[in-house]
Amino acid sequence: MIGALAFAALAALLYFAAFPPLDFGWIGAVALAPWVAIARRLRGGRLFLVGWIGGLALFTAGCFWLRKSHPLNLVLMVVPEALAFALFVLLLRRLQVTQRWPAMVALPLAFVPIEFARGHFPLDGYPWLSLGYSQHAHLGLVQLAAITGVHGLSFVLALVAGALADAIAVRSRAACGRFVAALALLAIGEVAGRATLGDVDRLPRGPRLLLLQPGIEQALKNAGRSHEFTLRRHVELAELAQARERADLLVWSETFLPGHWRDHDGAVVGEPPDFRDYRAGWRQRVDAEMTRRFGLPLIGGAVTVRAVELRPETPLYNSALLLGRDGKTVAAYDKRLLVPGGEYVPWIDAFPTATAESLRNGIRKMAGDVPNLRPGTRSGVIDLASVGLTSKLGLTICYEIAYPQLGRGLVEDGAQFLLNLSNEAWFPDSAEFAQYSAMAVVRAVETRRTMVRCANSGTSGFVDPWGRPTWLEQNGRRDGFAGSMIVAPPLAAVITPYVRFGDALAWAVTLLAGAAVLVRRRTSGIPRADIESADPAAKA
């Protein structure tokens, strides 16, 4: 058991090292290998427990930044997500020991279905730290995502790790040859992928977007009447940028348009009487200072409401609004996938009324507020022709960038480039910024669409359709400062296999793994003698 825990600690360390902040992406090709030894040593409850402990270590280290919002948020994420690794290692043992499949086959067949499932369940899933994202800096290999999505990258990395585990355990010439062949596959993938890179200079360009990154601390953003400072900061950034180069569209980050703005359906904004005139005045100030002053349309994040009165239970929406040059709302998108705990309380309405109210009071005392956002239902594709510009953009907000199905759906609906509005000031000086950037790279490659990001505290900039990033920087930093950047996104029109077929590979692997679990007879693979000679504990 002690030896198995040591292997689990090694596995967690290797996996963590493949991602930012360390970002040793090449380690991703071997990070899963220690789990093979664990699956051979243990079974049943002990194997499940070790897998869960390894998952706890991995997600705690990889997402330790989450504690900055509230330590409880880290706990509530880590505990259930770690169960994914417990299930993965049980499935791995089933395929490798019971079915006698070589680890080179068993490891990707066990890992990818679990990674795929945890991106969708529980709730909307938590796709963070999917293994394929570790390859964001390997420009050639990451092109595979245009065919298979991020899970195809994870499949290849798991295959290499399985080949390494076979070579170490079996120590036969054939097993070593398979490992060498797997490494050659990685090298060929990197070279072949680089050969497919396109020339962005040959692509048409979209409208010039002026990205405004105000760099405002979350504590100040949450302060009662901080809108004056917010507006002044945006105006100053816009003035400096416009003095250098003219833009076509102003872009603000997530939830920075002040107050509860008018809904895009024209519903009346409801606000407490003491704030109604105050925020209505701010709406006029933003119209005058931004859209009319610069003569440009504006797109930015706001909290919107669809009710005449604003009460504690009134549903709110995390929205992105497109304002015309006259300051009027032209179009809007409501965030569809919300953050559990941060934007809504899961399942609270399923409790009896008295119990639900008691839970709300407890949350209010602990956190000062009860998240009450509702998910949107509309596509995030917005036609900029409504403000006199060409091209269609596909909107996501913050956390939604982690979901590949959203980017794919936006391109299916006609998006010519993608725009993600975000506020990451909750997690200053953390790996969260770089982990977001890694996902932005893979989203761009999957869809062959430029991914533009505008964030309050960073990272803002764009990734071209082949995954080459250009980020706003200051003194070597990509986050934690105020700045601006004008981006004319390259517009590619190709429809990738991933957009056309989605996660077909992940589904196929999941079905194959499920069928393998149901097969009772032992199939040919690693001879029983090889398993036992590799680890006598496997006899148990």
DSSP letter string, 295-315: T--EEEEEEEE-SSS--TT--
Same domain, 185 and 218: no
- Among 372, 392, 417, give the residue marking a domain's end: 372
pLDDT at 466: 97
Predicted confidence at residue 525, as pLDDT, reads 45
The reply to whether 506 and 367 lie within a common domain is: no
pLDDT at 532: 41
Q: Do 450 and 484 reside in the same domain of the chain?
A: yes
Strand partners, 483: 213
Query: Are residue 527 and residue 410 in the same domain, yes or no?
Result: no
- Same domain, residue pair 112 and 216: no
Query: Among residues 348, 372, 396, which one ends one of the domains?
Result: 372
**Pair 135, 63 in one domain:** yes
Give the domain extent around 133.
2-198+500-539
406: CB partners within 8 A, 6+ apart? 336, 337, 380, 396, 400
Position 116 confidence tier, pLDDT thresholds 50, 70, 90 = very high
32 confidence band (pLDDT: 50, 70, 90): very high
10 Å CB burial of residue 226 (0-12, 13-18, 19+) is middle
Q: Is the pLDDT of residue 181 over 80?
A: yes
CATH number at residue 244: 3.60.110.10
Same-domain check for residues 387 and 256: yes
On whether both 395 and 458 belong to a single domain, the answer is yes
DSSP letters of 402-419?
G-HHHHHHHHHTT-SEEE
DSSP-derived letter for residue 66 is G
Residues 186 and 307 in one domain: no
Tokens of 493: 């029109």
Bridging pattern class, strands 316-323 and 329-334:
antiparallel
**Amino acid (one-letter) located at 352:** P
Confidence of residue 257 (pLDDT cuts 50, 70, 90): confident
More confident residue, 273 or 297: 297
pLDDT(33) > 70: yes
538 vs 174, higher pLDDT? 174
| Selection from 536, 417, 502, 511 nearest residue 465 by Cα | 417
Q: Examine the domain organization and report whether 456 and 315 are in the same domain.
A: yes
- Enter the DSSP assignment of 481: S
- Quick: pLDDT tens for 192-203: 999 999 999 999
Residue 182 pLDDT > 50: yes
6 and 91 share a domain? yes
Q: How confident is the model at residue 344 (pLDDT cuts 50, 70, 90)?
A: confident
Q: Residues 221, 88: one domain? A: no
Q: What is the pTM of this model?
A: 0.91
Q: How confident is the model at residue 518 (pLDDT cuts 50, 70, 90)?
A: confident
HSE (CB half, 13 Å, CA atoms) of 337? 23
Q: pLDDT band at 80, cuts 50/70/90?
A: very high
At 535 the pLDDT is 47
% the chain with pLDDT above 70: 89
More confident residue, 527 or 28: 28
Q: Report pLDDT digits (tens) over 196-241.
A: 999 999 999 999 999 999 999 988 877 656 778 888 899 999 999 9
- Kind and range of the H or E run holding 396: strand 392-397
Q: How many domains does the chain have?
A: 3
